[in-house]
């Protein structure tokens, strides 16, 4: 088994430190507007669908971006233990980070979000909370890898999903604030909620290192341990 064979798995890491999710929500609310320039830069580089996707389900708020000097708007001072955990859980040093992006779910979305894969290659994720909805995954028809893969983004009703298998796989949670791995080369994913969310009930995080670690044992061993949760490409 290699990391390419794994489409999704919870990660076998230590539990997150105690933190106030209400304080995190307050930080997000207070800093979304002041950090919008970071999001605008991301969109200009074609790395976010926030401005060109009808069913975009998230607000984007950077907690860390090395291009902007590292930690932003005192996130690390407000949440010192959590900020360390966000990279140490993935065996990353702070100076190995490119960015940490918070994705609170918008409160105006119901049903499916949009099918897509993300631009980060490591696939490191965590939830700060997840009290609503599900994440679904569809495998690519071809076994792509980091050397050759295709960008998938459901922009409107005219898009083609010809790259994807029809079967949808639900990414089962180990816990509501788990760390997990999501393969952006051999799968695309979409959120789903039945009822309109309220009060930021779901905050995902993308942890993006400057370089993808050569050692993939964290992901591989986690998929072996959580085989009842992991989604494998060839199964």
- What CATH code is carried by the domain that includes residue 200? 2.60.120
Burial of 7 (0-12, 13-18, 19+ CB in 10 A): buried
- pLDDT tens-digit readout, 62-117: 999 999 999 999 999 999 999 999 999 999 999 999 999 999 988 777 888 889 99
Domain that holds residue 46: 3-232
What is the pLDDT, as a whole number, of residue 113?
84
CA distances to 116, 126, 231 from 121, rounded to whole Å, are 14, 15, 18
pLDDT at position 56 over 80? no
pLDDT at position 54 over 70? no
Sheet holding 169-170, edge to edge: 111-112, 187-193, 134-139, 169-170
Please say whether the beta carbons of 99 and 65 come within 8 A: yes
* pTM (predicted TM-score): 0.94
The token pair that represents 192 in the structure block:
């789903």
| pLDDT bucket at 195, cuts 50 / 70 / 90 | confident
Structural domain count of the chain: 1
Q: What is the mean pLDDT of the chain?
A: 92
CA distances to 22, 212, 227 from 120, rounded to whole Å, are 28, 9, 24
What is the pLDDT, as a whole number, of residue 96?
97
The token pair that represents 4 in the structure block:
């390419």
pLDDT at position 18 over 80? yes
pLDDT at position 52 over 70? no
């Amino acid at each position: 088994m290699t990391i390419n064979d794994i489409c999704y798995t919870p990660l076998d890491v230590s539990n997150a430190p105690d933190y106030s999710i209400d304080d995190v929500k307050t930080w997000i609310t207070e800093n979304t507007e002041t950090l919008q320039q970071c999001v605008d830069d991301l969109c200009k580089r074609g790395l976010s669908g926030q401005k060109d996707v009808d069913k975009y389900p998230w607000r984007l708020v950077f907690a860390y971006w090395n291009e902007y000097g590292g930690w932003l708007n005192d996130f690390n001072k407000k949440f010192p233990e959590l900020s360390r955990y966000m990279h140490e859980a993935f065996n990353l040093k702070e100076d190995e980070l490119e960015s940490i992006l918070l994705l609170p779910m918008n409160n105006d979305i119901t049903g499916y979000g949009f099918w897509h894969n993300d631009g980060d290659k490591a696939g490191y994720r965590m939830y700060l909370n997840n009290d609503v909805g599900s994440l679904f995954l569809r495998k690519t028809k071809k076994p792509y890898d980091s050397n050759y893969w295709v960008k998938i983004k459901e922009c409107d009703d005219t898009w083609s999903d010809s790259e994807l298998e029809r079967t949808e796989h639900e990414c089962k949670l180990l816990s509501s604030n788990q760390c997990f791995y999501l393969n952006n080369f051999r799968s695309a994913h979409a959120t789903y909620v039945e009822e309109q969310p309220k009060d930021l009930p779901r905050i995902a995080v993308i942890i993006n290192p400057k370089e993808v670690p050569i050692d993939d044992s964290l992901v591989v061993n986690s998929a072996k341990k959580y085989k009842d949760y992991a989604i494998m490409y060839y199964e």
